[in-house]
Structure 1
Amino acid sequence: MSSYDLLKGINGLDKILIRDATATGCSAEVYLYGAHVTSWKNDHGEEELLFVSSKSIFDPPKAIRGGIPICFPQFSNHGTLPSHGFARNRFWTIDNDPPPFPTNASETAFVDLILKPSEDDMKIWPHSFEFRRRVALGPGGDLILKSRIRNTNNEGEPFSFTFANHTYFSVSDISGVRVEGLKTLDYLDNLQKMKRFTEHGDAITFASEVDRIYLSTPAKISILDHEKKRSFVLRKDGLPDAVVWNPWDKKAKSMADFGDDEYKHMVCVEAAAIEKPITLKPGEEWNGTLELSTV
């Protein structure tokens, strides 16, 4: 089941290659730095399904640009911590003796990782926690991300956090991409000081920068890539919100770790819990699951 290899990645950083022994070509790659998924290939014989910038700097403490960064315990700059929190800037460890995630016959290969706060983390966010993360392959090479966050504070203090799987999907041309499943929903527009609007379009399309948090979203969202005649399907549980982001040309040029024209070949659709922070009392645990597939 947990069939993986520990290898050296870019700049000598440790990475894990997860392979499905029952299906050729299915794989996922995750760096211990940030528990950051940087590659996903399924058995449709397709090329790389995630976008990672050619300019990404694999050099801690800088976060990796692309793939699937984890935003925890804070999404974006909606709080007092550095933007997107610190989980994506920390070295995780392989969790060889985890309280098991519910065993699931649909997981053909996986690795379990764990993050606990360092003394420095406690200075900026004074809460004891255990964050367990399973990166798994499912039938046909579906990518499954499971997150478990437990409050281990002994002092009886609850804590609250926001969270996102900041997924960068690889697309052929952003002008031919449609995000479906969010019609009639309210969203907060980050380009208009988080003002609240209602989505009226059948699908979200892209002709300029988009940076929105959709609220109370369905369990299933689809991304249609017209040119490739391919759809990504996100299925999520415990993650009520969804972020849709493309930086477009001006923002792309302002990011040192992002190619000027790379915005054309990526879209972020993120399963998240942002509007209503999750609060855990001591001993309580939160679970969030994201499953990605293509059709």
Structure 2
Amino acid sequence: MQTQVGLVDDSSTGYPKIILTEPTGSSAEVLLYGGQVVSWKNDRREQLLFRSTKALTKPPKTIRGGIPICFPQFGNSGSLEVHGFARNKLWALDPCPSPLPPSKSQSSIDLILKSTEDDMRTWPHSFELRLRVVLAPGKLTLISRVRNTGSKVFSFTFAMRNYLSISDVSEIRVEGLETLDYFDNLMNGEMFTEQTDAITFDGEVDRVYLRTPTKIAVIDHEKKRTLVVRKEGLPDAALWSPWDKKAKVIPEFVDKDYKAMLCVDSAAVETPIVLKPSEEWMGRQELSFVSSSYYSGQLDPRKVLGY
């Protein structure tokens, strides 16, 4: 198989999508609507990103799944729509990703979203939001950049919301967030400190962990693999699992969809990013997976996280 980037029309949305492939057989799909990665498959054609069974795919609705880009607001704490408007806009191919050097990988794509008059009515700031998606064997890298193209200082919050495909959320362990402070959105944003050695799930979770390490591991015993999130410029991490009760009121979820997904997001939430005119911010995340082995019935997180 050759390394390839293809642009085709997506029948479900009516908008173009980019298909990335690389020689080992892995692939990714990126929609121009929302600049959203909606599929990432490994060399065995296993889907690594969750997409809801009844995903609403007709704009202006965002697909429930993949990796939506949340800008200029994450969550619903501001005056904008939940998670901002970037995920509900039509992006374009970026012909000039400068000053970021051209990607050495042929299996990559650069997208851009520029502020419009419509955006300025709800968020009166001029910006350019760029996204580079790079597919490599066992890895999917996203690099986001925001440039202030106006004459006024502005601030924003940001997240890459990673809907990960898992076997069963009740069997998942998340390593790397131990002893950290977090805001609990189920408790009106009250702050707590994580007390467990590893995070497990037996009910709804909606948290933002603060000042997190650059590596977070999602250990899936049943699938015998570990997904690792590495990030730069994105100091926080959000965890979300709707569980059964919340899932029943989400139109895109059916039956046990909630069991097959976990959001582990790379985010900048606690301290908004401030940009002066002409300044640029960059955030980067790399998703990778490794086959896991058992040791005394448990995985060794030291090997996964590089301790």
- TM-score interval w.r.t. the shorter chain? over 0.9
Q: Which residue of 2 aligns with 1:161?
A: 156
Q: Please say which of residues 194-203 and 9-18 is displaced more in the overlay.
A: 9-18
Q: Deviations over 1:167-218 (max 9, x none)?
A: 0000011111011000000000000000000001111101000000000000
SS at match of 2:253: coil
Q: Is the 8 A contact 1:50 1:170 kept in 2?
A: yes
Percent identity (aligned)? 58
Q: Which residue of 2 aligns with 1:66?
A: 65
Q: Following TM superposition, where does structure 1 have runs of at least 4 consecutive aligned residues deviating by more than 4 angstroms?
A: none
The separation in 2 between residues aligned to 1:202 and 1:141, in whole angstroms, is 27
SS at match of 1:172: coil
Q: Is the 8 A contact 1:13 1:31 kept in 2?
A: yes
Q: How does 1:108-257 map to 2 (within 5 A)?
A: 108-138=106-136, 140-153=137-150, 156-257=151-252
Q: How does 1:266-285 map to 2 (within 5 A)?
A: 266-285=261-280
Q: Deviations over 1:209-254 (max 9, x none)?
A: 0000000000000000010111000000000000001000000000
SS at match of 2:259: helix
Distance 1:104 1:6, change over 3 A: closer
SS at match of 2:248: helix
The separation in 2 between residues aligned to 1:99 and 1:92, in whole angstroms, is 17
Q: Deviations over 1:131-189 (max 9, x none)?
A: 01001112x23000000100000xx3100000000100000111110110000000000
Q: Is the 8 A contact 1:2 1:111 kept in 2?
A: no
Q: Which residue of 2 aligns with 1:29?
A: 29
Q: Deviations over 1:35-76 (max 9, x none)?
A: 010000123x25100000011111111111010011100001
Q: Which amino acid is 2:268 matched to? A: A
The separation in 2 between residues aligned to 1:63 and 1:259, in whole angstroms, is 17
> What is the TM-score of this pair, normalised by structure 2?
0.91
The separation in 2 between residues aligned to 1:149 and 1:76, in whole angstroms, is 18
SS at match of 1:263: helix
Q: Which amino acid is 1:85 matched to? A: G
Q: Which residue of 2 aligns with 1:262?
A: 257
Aligned residue pair count? 288
Q: Is the 8 A contact 1:177 1:223 kept in 2?
A: yes
Unaligned runs of 5+ in 2: 291-307
> What is the TM-score of this pair, normalised by structure 1?
0.95
Q: Which residue of 1 aligns with 2:82?
A: 83
Q: Which amino acid is 2:16 matched to? A: D
Q: What's the offset of the Cα at 1:104? A: 5.5
Q: Which residue of 2 aligns with 1:4?
A: 5
